[in-house]
Structure 1
């Protein structure tokens, strides 16, 4: 039986490039180069039929360690909580006040990128604290 070694995470969204560039800034990811024959993504999109312009965008971990993120435009708005979300691991190995300080520092950085702070979930004896946030289109994620 074959085992999967790579996967990509796909986001449904209204503005794929905007959401992709937000996640590039969050994770240190990079968008791919424009398709062959095009000097910029704008030039590529202008070559496409109007209804397909900006229909998708992607980004990847420049080290190759993390999964590719793919963003596709969908017509419907997000109306309920995500069934899947990313945990951005900024507090790994930290506990108590040290962990909270790391979460708050990253939260401040992401707020400047357009993220929204939702709520702090405090340590409960089983799980350490984490911060629930939303990206630029309201998709939930956690600073963990």
Structure 2
């Protein structure tokens, strides 16, 4: 029996490159080089049949530690709450006002990139505070 060591996280979306570039900024990920034989991703896209252009985009963790993120175009829009979401861990080990200040600072940075602040889930004695947010296409994630 083999152990799975690598996986990617796949997002359904309307504009794969736009969403991918947002998450590159959030996580410090990078866009990999275009396929061999192409100087840019735009050159690669222009080489495809019209119906396949801009159908997907990906980004990777430059350290090689985090999973690859893959963004695929789907025809339907988001209509319900995510069944899975990312927790962006910016406040690990912090508590109280220090944690809230860190979450708020990161929230402000991400709002400037196009994210939407949804609500603060305040500390409740069992869990520390976190901020629920949405990416540029409305996918929920938490600043934790």
TM-score range, shorter chain: over 0.9
2: CA distance, partners of 1:13 / 1:85? 14
Partner of 1:32: 32
Structure 1, unaligned stretches of length 5 or more?
none
1:104-143 to 2 correspondences below 5 Å: 104-143=104-143
Shift of 1:66: 0.4
Task: Kindly state the Cα deviation for residue 2 of structure 1 after the two structures are TM-superposed.
Answer: 1.1
Question: In angstroms, what is the RMSD of aligned CA positions?
Answer: 0.4
The residue that corresponds to 1:87 in the other structure is: 87
1:41 matches 2:41: yes
Q: What SS does the aligned partner of 1:90 have?
A: coil
> Hey, which bits of structure 1, 4+ residues long, moved more than 4 A?
none
| TM-score, structure 2 normalization | 0.99
Q: Report the Cα distance in structure 2 between the residues aligned to 1:47 and 1:6, rounded to whole angstroms.
A: 30
Aligned residues: 144
How far residue 58 of structure 1 moved from its aligned partner, in angstroms, is 0.3
Residue 101 in structure 1 maps to residue 84 in structure 2? no
d(CA) in 1 for partners of 2:2, 2:34: 32
